[in-house]
Structures are given as structure tokens and as C-alpha cells.
Chains A and B, each alone.
Chain A
Amino acid sequence: MTIDHRQHHLDSVRSALSVLVYPLQWVVDLPHTSSEWFRESLSTRRALQEENASLRTQQLVLNTQLQKLEALEAENRRLRALLDSSFQVEERPMLIATLLSVDMDPYRHQIELNKGSLDHLFEGQPLLDSQGVMGQLIHVGPFTSTAMLITDPAHAIPVQVNRTGLRTIALGTGSIDRLELPHIPNNADIRSGDLLVTSGLGGRFPPGYPVAEVIDVQQDPGRTFSHVTARPRALLDRSREVLLVWPPGAQNPLTPGTTGKARAVVDTPAEAGSGSGTDAEPEPGTP
């Protein structure tokens, strides 16, 4: 039975059972939701006005930045066209889901979301918050779904160093504020403070989203690989709202069209790793 589950034959059973336990999760989540509702409905007009004003300022700032981004995007596209590369800047549909405040197994980093296959969620879908990548969905039921965070010991995410383009894999460690990068050679150019972004290899996570920040690099001359740890950017244990991202081609998560000629030269392992995000190739790329 356990083996059967590992081969995903029992997924339908699990999603059926998840409907059965949904009332329990709803009841447990109720105090939190209702207290939130009370706080919202009891907040004064003045507080709301202040919040409104601050949000408006924030939106203005963000809009200004967005204008710059659009200009940069256009420039980037022009430059890439000059290089004859088939890179695509894509618009990705998104959906906001809320966490159910229920406890799962304390030794697994999993969270429960209040959206499911009725909202067209799918297994393996990436999960973001406002700061960075949080994880991916592992089970999808009709009303709820379970996501695995990037810090779970069973999770690995293909990343690249934003500064140098060095590609590697970040593994979860089991502690909520630490990721490990075990495959970085001693002579690689990496230092603490470097931002790790998703590389898009493996085809599961969209490229270019921030994942973590390198906090510690220990280079031991006696070992082949240096010991690099990073802190996730996403507020993994604090976010209540999460963003679910769809691939640009709607149904097909692995759009083969993006793997053009020029890109294949740049990212040779891209084809090999297009199976799944969790077990992408462990071979570190050199900058």
C-alpha cells in the first residue's frame, strides 16, 4: 500500500479523503478567520484611512518602479533579439491563496492551503510570497491542497547566483531558516550576501524569482566542495497569503517552445532536467 502510494496510484483516494477531513480543518481554522474578520470589522475609520493612504503611497512607488522595469524589459528584449536568442518575457497568471492555520506533522515542512483543484491548482505548482519562493504543491484535493516548503529535507530547488550566474541546487535542511548548497566547488565565486534566484532549470519553478540569501561560506581545502548555507527570502513561517503561479502556456507546464536554439547552447542541462523540480541534476554548473 505504501509502495502503491509512492507510485501515485492512490492520489485520488487521498483527494477524496481530503474532502472528508476538510470540515475538521475548517473548524480548526475558524477561530483565526473569525478573529481576523472581527478585527477588520471593528477597526476604526481613521485606521482604515491611514492604511489606505499608506497603501496608496506604496502603490505609487511600485508603479514608478514598474515603469522602469517595463523600459528595462523592452531593452532586454531588443538586446536579446540582437543576440538572436529566443528568450521570452512571459506574463504568468497568478492566484492568491490563504493558509489554513492547522498544524501538520511537526517534522515535515508542509502547509495547507484553502484552494484546490476546483480552482485549477495542479500538483507541482510553484508557490511564492511577496519576498520569494516558498515551495510547491504536493497534493491537491478539491477544496484544499498541501504544499511542501523549500526547507523540507526532501525538497531541492535549482537556483543560480544572481551576481555571477553560477547554477546549483539548494537543498532543504529541516530547519525553517536554512538552506544548504552542497555542490559548490571550492574555487567557485560565491560569498555571503549573494542572492540566489530560481534558475528555471527542471521546468518546475519559473526563472528569476528570489529564493534565498547566502549567509555563510566555509571553504575547507581538504574537501572538494565548500559548505554554503543560505537563508530563505520568503517568510516561510509568517506569511498567511501565498501566490500560486501558472506557467505562461496555461495547461502545459513544460512549454517545449521556450527551449530554442540559442538557449539550448546557454543552458545545456535544461533538457536533461525537465523532468521534475525536486530531483534536478546534482551537477553544479560552472560560471
Chain B
Amino acid sequence: MTLTRHHGGIIILLSFTVAMLLTIMPLSDGLRSWRPDWVTLTLIFWCLALPYRVSVVSGFMVGLLLDVLTGTLLGQHALALSIIAYVCVRLHQRIRIYPMWQQALTVLVMLVLHQLLTLWIDSTIGRPARPLAYWLPSLVGALLWPFVYRFLTSVRINFQVQ
């Protein structure tokens, strides 16, 4: 039991690492504003799949690292991701049985919530208003959710992450 647990932990860490790599991967200027929020998608998946292993504390840790990576205020992403993790863990039994499109819509709401919290903190510290394209990542993320879900599910089954 302990062996499988340890094994699974590495896979979860690895998935977050890949998500962070994708987040800071250099893209051309046109594509940059379309980049979905990979870390949040990964966090939502693990919160739905393994709510007893990945929850608020993991969200907080990942958020801190994300803050350092993207150069935002320390704690900004951490707060947003903790709240999302909390919502996910609270609702995981309901969201799990939704059909895929409805799941994607729920994910959209959570991604928008993440961006809204970040925007709120940003405007509190006096950053200027964002263009409408600021919301694109949420939309792209929700559209990609079915693929992310299938991919991470197959990873989870393959490596027997419990």
C-alpha cells in the first residue's frame, strides 16, 4: 500500500511539473494570450480524482511556486488555487458524475474564478485594467478540458495512482 502511494505521488508531482513547464514555455506573442492555465487544469483534475490526497494545501504550494515562476505577487496564485481546490473538493462527488460538456462548463467557472481573483488582487495593488483577451485562457482551458481529463485519467490508470 505504502509503495503504491509513494509511486503515485511522483506521478502527481510530475504532472504539476509538466504543467508548470508548459506555463513558462516561450510562445510567440500571438499565441501567448491563448495559453490555457495548465496548472489550474491539473489541480482541478487531481482534486476531482483524488480529493483525499490533493486539496487545499497542495493548491497553496503549487500556487506559491507559480507566483515565483510568473513573477506575480507572492501568494496571489496561492490564494486563488487554494480556493479553487476547496471548491473542487467540496463538489467533487457532484462534478464527477456530470456529462463531459457540463464538466467543462464547471471547469470554465473555476478557471474564470481563478482569473477573477488574480485580477482582483492585481487591481488592488494598482495594476492597470486588462484587455478583453485576458479571459481567453479560461475559454481555451474549458475547451481543452475533455482532452486533459482523458489524458490524465489514462495516466492515472496506467500508473495506478491511488
Q: Which residues of A pack against B, CB within 8 Å?
A: 1-2, 5-6, 10, 13-14, 17-18, 20-21, 24-25, 27-28, 32, 101-108, 110, 112, 138-139, 146, 153-154, 174
Contacts and interface: CB of A to CB of B under 8 A. Distances in A.
5 closest Cβ contacts across the A-B interface?
A: A102-B24, A1-B75, A17-B68, A110-B71, A105-B70
A138 B73 CA distance: 12
Nearest to B124: A2
B69 interface: yes
Interface stretch (B26-34, B87-95, B96-104, B105-113): B26-34
B24 A2 contact: no
A6 B68 CA distance: 15
Contact of A105 (B20, B25, B72, B126): B72
B73 A24 contact: no
A1 B128 CA distance: 22
Contacts of B75: 1-2, 5, 10
A108 B25 contact: no
B33 A106 contact: yes
5 contacts: A5-B73, A17-B68, A21-B69, A103-B25, A107-B134
Contacts of A139: 71
Interface of B: 17, 20-21, 23-27, 32-33, 35, 64-65, 68-76, 78-79, 121, 125-128, 130, 134
B127 A21 contact: no
